[in-house]
């Protein structure tokens, strides 16, 4: 398309999904992702594709399970409490090796919380909020344009590894507008056929979608296959960004909206002579442990900044393993850290 347009993050995710060939979208309304639903309500029927406002988040994720079984690209979106309701369904998707995209426009929690931006669902997304040994690929966009490109990528990764993929956004990213170059729509017909999909047992043996076997030895084998795929994803798909880390003494570890704010902090800090850099994981699962480990060997401090009580912080500490200081600065409940607030923290570790 080439043409720059000013759009909300929610709309960009929706539009990118459409351009990635999403055929079926199912969701239940919730703030702050209402515009995503609305964009789909307007545009999916127009394109002859499926939009269903489900009776609940449980309904929606299980409709996704159905559509994914049949082999079409499919998506659902929600925000924190709604995502909690999808946990059983996500575990089933993972267990049944079904590709699907799930968007969480995170808000303040726990419980009903509020509708302001937050990053307090990182654990749920990356460690597995559902039951069982599974992982989703979790992508953490930092700007509105990146929300678009990562959504396109999400569909590709989902298909490639037969796995659910989550876009972990937040209320700010969903609500804000920013100029964006919308990616070109893919050619749906050119996507590889899914031989495993339950499209009707015509001229072949039946295909079965399932996440269970009552024989533990068989279920173990199914789990080993999942784990094999997770190791492959860890090998191939780790994505991250480093900003001004070359000479950095202090590095901020942050993702998503917080990372974006941190970029302003770098400018402010460098203006004051503090050698500050940024390590930004783009894949939150698989987490970029190795590059952060490497980086931690040559900095004094890795300051984790999150809109949470310290969740990604655990992964940072796992990577750093006490090689550097690993302090934490977090805001909670929908409060967004300000550049000045972060700078104040940075200064505590600058010498």
Ligand X SMILES: Cc1ncc(C[n+]2csc(CCOP(=O)(O)OP(=O)(O)O)c2C)c(N)n1
Site string for other proteins, 22-41 (x = CB under 8 A): -xx-x-xxxxx-x--xx--x
Segment lying near a second copy (by CB under 8 A), choices 8-16, 103-111, 140-148, 181-189? 103-111
Sheet of strand 240-243, all strands in order from the earlier edge strand to the far edge: 240-243, 276-281, 250-253, 301-306, 328-330
Give yes or no for a cis peptide into 186 (omega within 30° of 0).
no
Structure tokens at 69: 């079984």
179-208 residues near other proteins, rule: CB under 8 A: 179, 198-203, 206-208
73-132 residues near ligand X, rule: CB under 6 A: 81-82, 85
Size of the site for other proteins (CB under 8 A): 79
Cα dihedral across residues 103, 106, 107, 109: positive or negative: positive
In the complex, the smallest distance separating the C-beta of residue 316 from a second copy, rounded to whole angstroms, is 11
Sheet of strand 24-27, all strands in order from the earlier edge strand to the far edge: 50-53, 24-27, 74-78, 100-106, 164-170, 137-139, 283-285
Instruction: Categorise residue 171: left if φ over 0, alpha if ψ from -120 to 50, beta otherwise.
Output: alpha
One of 13, 16, 83, 115 touching other proteins (CB under 8 A): 115
191-210 residues near a second copy, rule: CB under 8 A: 210
240 binds, among other proteins, a second copy, ligand X, none (CB under 5 to 8 A by kind): none
Task: Choose between 29 and 185: whose C-beta lies nearer to ligand X.
Answer: 29
Residue where the block lists tokens 């931690």: 296
Instruction: Tally Cβ neighbours within 10 Å of residue 211.
Output: 17
Segment lying near ligand X (by CB under 6 A), choices 6-14, 27-35, 150-158, 324-332? 27-35
Question: What string of H, E and C letters represents the secondary structure of 239-261?
Answer: CEEEECCCCCCEEEECCHHHHHH
Residue where the block lists tokens 């808000």: 107
In the complex, the smallest distance separating the C-beta of residue 112 from ligand X, rounded to whole angstroms, is 6
Going from the C-alpha of 146 to that of each of 17, 118, 260, the distances in angstroms are: 13, 18, 11
Q: Which of 259, 261, 280, 282 is nearest to 150 (CA)?
A: 282
* The length of the chain, given as a count of residues: 351
Task: Choose between 84 and 198: whose C-beta lies nearer to ligand X.
Answer: 84
233-272 residues near other proteins, rule: CB under 8 A: 260-261, 263-265, 267
45 binds other proteins (CB under 8 A): yes
223 binds, among a second copy, other proteins, ligand X, none (CB under 5 to 8 A by kind): a second copy
One of 331, 337, 343, 346 touching a second copy (CB under 8 A): 331
| 222 membership: H or E segment, kind and range | helix 216-236
In the complex, the smallest distance separating the C-beta of residue 50 from ligand X, rounded to whole angstroms, is 20
In the complex, the smallest distance separating the C-beta of residue 273 from a second copy, rounded to whole angstroms, is 32
In the complex, the smallest distance separating the C-beta of residue 310 from a second copy, rounded to whole angstroms, is 8
CB 13, CB 36: distance < 8 Å: yes
Q: How many angstroms separate the most distant Cα atoms in the chain?
A: 72
Instruction: Tally Cβ neighbours within 10 Å of residue 135.
Output: 20
Q: Which residues bind a second copy (CB under 8 A)?
A: 58, 80-81, 83-85, 87-88, 91-96, 106, 108-116, 118, 120-121, 123-124, 127-134, 210-224, 226-227, 308-309, 311, 314, 317-318, 321-322, 331-336
Residues forming contacts to ligand X in the complex (CB under 6 A) are: 28-30, 57, 81-82, 85
């Amino acid at each position: 398309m080439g043409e720059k347009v000013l759009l909300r993050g929610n709309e960009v995710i929706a539009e990118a999904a459409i351009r990635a060939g999403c055929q079926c979208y199912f969701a239940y309304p919730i703030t702050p992702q209402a515009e995503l639903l609305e964009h789909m309500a307007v545009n999916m029927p127009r394109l002859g594709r499926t939009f269903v406002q489900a009776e609940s988040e449980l309904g929606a994720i299980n409709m996704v399970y159905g559509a994914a079984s049949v082999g079409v690209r499919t998506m659902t979106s929600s925000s924190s409490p709604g995502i909690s309701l999808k946990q059983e369904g996500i575990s089933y998707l993972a267990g049944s090796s079904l590709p699907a995209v799930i968007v969480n426009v995170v808000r303040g929690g726990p419980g009903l919380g509020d509708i302001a931006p937050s990053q307090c669902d990182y654990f749920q997304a990356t460690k597995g909020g559902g039951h069982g040994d599974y992982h989703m690929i979790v992508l953490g966009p930092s700007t509105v344009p990146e929300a678009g490109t990562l959504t396109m990528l999400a569909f590709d990764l989902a298909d490639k590894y037969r796995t659910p993929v989550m876009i972990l956004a937040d209320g700010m990213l969903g609500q804000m507008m920013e100029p964006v170059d919308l990616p070109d729509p893919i050619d749906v017909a050119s996507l590889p056929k899914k031989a495993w999909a339950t499209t009707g047992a015509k001229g072949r043996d039946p295909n079965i979608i399932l996440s269970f076997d009552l024989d533990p030895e068989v279920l173990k084998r199914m789990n080993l296959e999942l784990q094999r795929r997770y190791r492959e994803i860890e090998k191939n798909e780790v994505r991250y960004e480093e900003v001004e880390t070359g000479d950095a003494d202090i590095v901020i570890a942050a993702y998503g909206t917080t990372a974006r704010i941190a970029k302003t902090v770098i400018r402010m800090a460098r203006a004051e002579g503090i050698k500050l850099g940024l390590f930004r994981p783009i894949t939150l699962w698989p987490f970029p442990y190795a590059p952060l480990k490497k980086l931690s060997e040559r900095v004094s401090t890795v300051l984790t900044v999150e809109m949470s009580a310290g969740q990604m912080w655990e992964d940072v500490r796992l990577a750093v393993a006490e090689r550097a200081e690993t302090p934490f600065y977090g805001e909670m409940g929908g409060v967004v850290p300000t550049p000045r607030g972060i700078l104040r923290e940075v200064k505590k570790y600058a010498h």
